[in-house]
Amino acid sequence: MRPMPHLLALSLLTGATTLSADSSQPVDLSTRARGAGHVVVALVERVRADYQRNEFGDVLIVSHAQVRVREVLKGTSVAGDNLTLDVEGGTVDGVTLRVSDIQPLEAGEQAILFIDETRDGRKVPHLRGQGIVKVDTNGRLRGSELTVDDVRRAVARAQR
């Protein structure tokens, strides 16, 4: 009996989904901190987006989040520094790019940022979306019972 084309396509899609899900497993905070060049608590002051070409030649929308560092947990920044974090996704001229594994940043939000620096000096989230951890007004990580203090301890453990 010959397999039906739509069943073959479905099985291929299911396999691709499994591979994709396996590559984006959450990484614990200590491991993120160990791998990131910088870890800061920051306030997003403004965000602007434009089109950029990535290393593969694709044209993407990239948001440039201007953040003010409130506290340095790892790295060479100091409180009060302004940093620009480049994050894939955003809106330019009515065209929006949403990236499934990266939360967009908005002005007024507070976040813990695990940051890497690219070869050309740009700052980007470490482990893509896992490098952005938003903090609510009560000092809790959004969607979690963890607090900023828990992150401080995890970063300190990672640096021992």
pLDDT lower than 70: segments of the chain: 1-24
Q: What is the pLDDT of residue 24?
A: 61
Residues composing the chain? 160
Residue 108 backbone class (left: φ over 0; alpha: ψ -120 to 50; beta: rest): left
Q: What is the pLDDT of residue 26?
A: 87
Q: What is the pLDDT of residue 32?
A: 96
Structural domains in the chain plus CATH codes? 26-158 (2.40.50.120)
Concatenated DSSP letters for 115-138? EEE-TTS-EEETTGGGGEEEE-TT
Question: Is beta strand 59-74 parallel, antiparallel or unpaired with respect to 82-88?
Answer: antiparallel
pTM strictly above 0.75: yes
Query: What residues contact 119, with CB distance under 8 A and at least 6 apart?
Result: none
